[in-house]
Amino acid sequence: MTKYVYDFTEGNRDLKDLLGGKGANLSEMTNLGLPVPPGFVITTEACKVYLETGDEPNELREEVSAHLDALEREMGRALGQPDDPLLVSVRSGAKFSMPGMMETVLNIGLNDESVQGLAKQAGSERFAWDSYRRLIQMFGKTVLDIDGEHFEDAIDEAKKRKGSTDDLDLDEHDLRTLVDTFKGLVREHAGREFPTEPREQMDLAVKAVFNSWNAPRAILYRRQERIPADLGTAVNICSMVFGNLGMDSGTGVAFTRDPGSGQQGIYGDYLQNAQGEDVVAGIRNTLPLQDLERLDKPAYDQLLEIMATLENHYRDLCDIEFTIERNKLWMLQTRVGKRTAGAAFRIACQLIDQGLIDLDEAVTRVTGDQLAQLMFPRFDDTADKKQIAKGMNASPGAAVGKAVFDSDRAEEMASRGEHVILVRRETTPDDLNGMIAAQGILTSRGGKTSHAAVVARGMGKTCVCGAEELEVDLKGRSFKARSGETVNEGDVISIDGTSGAVFLGEVPVTPSPVVQYFEGELDPADESDELVQAVHRLMTRADEARRLKVRANSDNPEDSQRARRFGAQGIGLCRTEHMFLGDRRQHVERLILAETDDERQAALDTLEPLQREDFVGIFDAMDGLPVTVRLLDPPLHEFLPDLTDLSVKVALAEERGEDAAREHKLLDAVRRLHEANPMLGLRGVRLGLVVPGLFGMQVRAIAEAAAQLKADGKDPKVEIMVPLVGAVQELEMIRDEAREILAEVQERTGADLDALVGTMIEVPRAALTAGQIAEAAEFFSFGTNDLTQMGWGFSRDDVEAAFFSRYLDLGIFGVSPFESLDREGIGRMVRIATEEGRKTRPGLKVGVCGEHGGDPESVHFFHEVGLDYVSCSPFRIPVARLEAGRAALAASESDSR
């Protein structure tokens, strides 16, 4: 039979899945002999049954009764007994800390009779009635879903009548009156009387905690923190101890070291004559924890001893909640404390030096997400700033500049040394020049996988997307915020890609020393910055431990050089389509409009030296390291003007009697190439087979660039990747053409060109026939962006805004599959393709070059599957390096168990 209730003496910290973090840690402190009020835990399994069926498990009431009876015997009094009542708290407690997201009810067991007994036993009428009003207030808000403002307004009115602003000035009479007022609010807003039977209070509170697992704020927090939706919460029922018995009592929160900086010391807050929620609610000003030494030195000394015990036991920063009841210290909670990214790195290294953990464990204590936070410039938190909108935090960082509404203008202003923010409704590939020139990108439409977001993250550029509060007027070169402010071109704005906030005017920015370290501008051996030293120390061990290599997605020499400084071991994706934008678009138009073989060849002959020059720069920047060049992937119509814009241009030209022959020809081509679903149309390998000479031109440019560098004594290592292959026959045809060209260039130049020819696995059929495709492919690289789109049947540009938020709310997604790889579906295809490819071709090199290559969770999966490398944007390389090391250490630890 399933056991649904555990006494604190029966649990331990290893039972977090069952008892939640709070219950497991209360049990652990009980086992350590620390002063913990007795109690018991209702398990997460009971919560799951309740959430699935709408009712508690049949056995639960009987189990709760048995544990409550045992608690009453231990305490020597019964729940809510009139003369000397046992009171309990009912608190939530999930496996992962979700502070403030779920519910708590204190003082359960009080009613009109037991309040008199509590007053007599405590010797304080005020204390008893204060506890009673707190129960009704918390119960009404939490259990009966009454707006908490009604209760707060009543308290404010009582203080106003008293001529005070302090709760402590309310006397016994005032609090009796408040209790009556609160009961009236319950009748008015809940349509029922406040329940006076103690067991009914407790049972209803337990259900409220269960229900709070699916409260909107809890759902939102889980989504943000990537906490699975099916875990459920435990419920902790604990005998009450009281910090509101007088000035010799109080409540507080303590940290064993500073969670903001990681510095060792005494950190926390204390509030005399108060209960726990008063500290976090900010109703009264707290005292620094150090002041407790003056107020109650014995309790202070005991608290410091317990803090040291807990930190040594948990071997980590601990977050502690405590209450002092008439000079006696009680521990109400401990957990491994949340901390800033900087504190995480500092604390990990401090714990090594203290001998509490080793270097390997320290690496597992920090995360790639934390490292990413340290790398972005940030706004000064102390600065005055005016927020005018908020969008999606698409790419972290802090950016300040003049608002500019078109890319050419952004490029022009940036060339004069001006800092600009590119503001668009949404961006397209045509905006790339402006995006590169801008300090940051702000769009009023789109989400985290929109064009602006994807490109910005790839460039390490700050970006806020989907700021729907802004009405962008591109023609008027301005935007208007819903709050009323209008920003015209040239006005300065600041955008925070970490929070999604948009500010009016300039907000001061502080640089990141961690990026300076990765850029080689700071030497950690000479650097006094403890954070830089900690990052260097842990990154060095991560690099030693990892099996996965880390490459960069890069399309130009500048990004390639930066990637190399950041630790890239090659380029895993060089997108050649980005080389056809800007001034070269006209040559692509000539290729598309060509009506004869000679015209087409002339266009290709014009593009080839330009391509060769591009590859020379990239191969040179990555000398001695592999560079995977993807042949042209997008459909050709992306290089032509928009159908609607071009139609209007032609119509206007005809109306004015102007010569529009070229525009007519372009319009015919746009119409001819128009596709209902271009993602599944004429692109990738299909282009190479349908447009004679296109892929051949690119392969020749690659080969000649490599030959040129070989002649200069360099060591280019070239990998040619054919995109969108679905059948081995497609790859065989392109491979044969590529081999002929490579052989011809090698013979003509005398260079030893040992280029590999492989394919991108991004079509589900390719993944499922990988054994066949490996007969022709010398390497695989998973394009997980398109593999996710095709595997799910999603149009990436449409689905996020249309229904992703609803899917996240419903728990269909724990996180967007474009952010973190779907292991069960898309991941299974990755696993199948890897295994079957290597059966055909042992030692087949396999990597990933989609956005998931820089996602921490996905990196762990790629390590598990056995990939050789991940590839990501240059700015994400340190993150991938760290996560690859963490994955290897975690796997090693698992194997040793």
Active site residues: 451, 849
Dist. CA 121–CA 270, nearest whole Å: 25
Give me the sign of the Cα torsion angle 844, 848, 849, 854.
Answer: negative
Report the alpha-carbon distance of residue 758 to residue 781 in Å, rounded: 8
SS3 content of the chain, % helix, strand, coil (to 5): 50, 15, 30
C-alpha angle with apex 499: 496 to 504, nearest 5 degrees?
40
Are 629 and 574 in contact, with CB atoms under 8 Å apart?
Answer: yes
What CA–CA distance (Å, rounded) separates 704 from 726? Answer: 29
Structure tokens at 563: 């990637």
Nearest of 369, 360, 367 to residue 890 by alpha carbon: 360
- What separation in angstroms does the CA of 554 have from each of 422, 477, 558, 799, 820? 22, 32, 9, 27, 21
Task: Tell me the one-letter amino acid at 825.
Answer: G
The CA–CA distances, whole Å, from 639 to 100, 309, 350 equal: 51, 66, 55
Q: Which helix (H) or strand (E) holds 215?
A: none
Q: Name the residue among 843, 852, 763 with its Cα closest to residue 553.
A: 852
- Helices and strands of the chain, counted as H and E runs: 36, 31
Q: Cα 140 vs. chain centroid, distance in angstroms?
A: 35
What the block records as the tokens of 275 is 């209960």
Yes or no: say if 705 and 711 are a contact pair by the CB < 8 Å rule: no
The secondary structure element, H or E, covering residue 690 is helix 685-690
Q: Among 891, 881, 829, 889, which Cα is nearest to 856's? A: 881
Long-range contacts of 667-671 (CB under 8 A, 24+ apart): 667/643, 669/592, 669/593, 669/640, 670/637, 670/640, 670/641, 670/643, 670/646, 671/643
Q: Is the dihedral of CA 230, 231, 236, 242 positive or negative?
A: negative
* Tokens describing residue 68: 């409550």
Kind of pairing between the strands at 549-553 and 869-872? parallel
And the tokens for 893? 């630890």
How would you classify the pairing of strands 386-390 and 420-424? unpaired
| Token digits of residue 345 | 């790195």
- In Å, how far are 114, 186, 834 from 196, measured between CA atoms? 10, 13, 64
Question: What is the 8-class DSSP label of residue 81?
Answer: -
Rounded Cα distance between 669 and 672, Å, is 5
Give how far Cα 107 sits from Cα of 195, 612, 627, Å.
13, 76, 66
Are 422 and 434 in contact by the 8 Å Cβ rule? The answer is yes
Other Cβ atoms within 10 Å of 204 Cβ, number:
17
Would you list the DSSP string of 501-542? Answer: EEEES---EE--HHHHHHTTSS-TTT---HHHHHHHHHHHHH
Strand 88-94 and strand 233-239: the pairing is antiparallel
Main-chain dihedrals φ then ψ at residue 441, nearest 5 degrees: -125, 135
State residue 798 phi and psi, 5-degree precision.
-110, -35
Give the three-class secondary structure for 745. helix
Other C-beta atoms closer than 10 Å to the C-beta of 405 total 22
DSSP state of 133: H
